[in-house]
Amino acid sequence: MEYKELFKMADQVKENAYVPFSKFQVGAALLTKDGQVYTGVNVENSSYGGTICAERTAFVKAISEGKRQFSAIAIASSGGEALPCGICRQFMYEFCPELDVITGKDENSLRVQPLNVLLPEGFRLEKE
């Protein structure tokens, strides 16, 4: 799948974001190595710390469906280019340090950066 298409999916799904507090809609579209796409949005909570970002929503959906291998994630927001927060960077690093992270204000101005550039020397426990 083309990264432009993946970004468009993120941009469309952001309309489903539950954002009564920040009003900042974020959509993510996560591409698995076997070519499937899992989308996600940010879901806020009255107890602010309970908020989950769009990127982690997409990952949690994919992982709970048995997916473990990912090639790219596109992120779109209602407020221009949005880069993943620190928690999301670490969360995604667990599964795929080489993930392509696609961001931009629209599909004609995309940036693609590997996750391990956005998060150098991320933390990982040794895998058994």
Residues belonging to the active site? 55
Assess contact for 85 and 75: CB atoms under 8 A: no
Burial of 81 by CB count in 10 Å (0-12 exposed, 13-18 middle, 19+ buried)? middle
Kindly tell me which of 47 and 127 has the beta carbon lying closer to ligand THU: 47
46 assigned binding-site residue = yes
Instruction: Output the smallest distance, CB 53 to ligand THU, in A.
Output: 3
CA angle 115, 45, 53 (to 5 degrees): 10
42 assigned binding-site residue = yes
Kindly tell me which of 112 and 125 has the beta carbon lying closer to ligand THU: 112
Kindly tell me which of 18 and 68 has the beta carbon lying closer to ligand THU: 18
108 assigned binding-site residue = no
Rg (CA), the chain: 14
Assess contact for 9 and 36: CB atoms under 8 A: no
User: What does the binding site for ligand THU look like in residue numbers (CB under 6 A)?
Assistant: 19, 22, 24, 26, 42, 44, 51, 53-55, 82, 84-85, 88
Output the known binding site for Zn(2+): 53, 85, 88
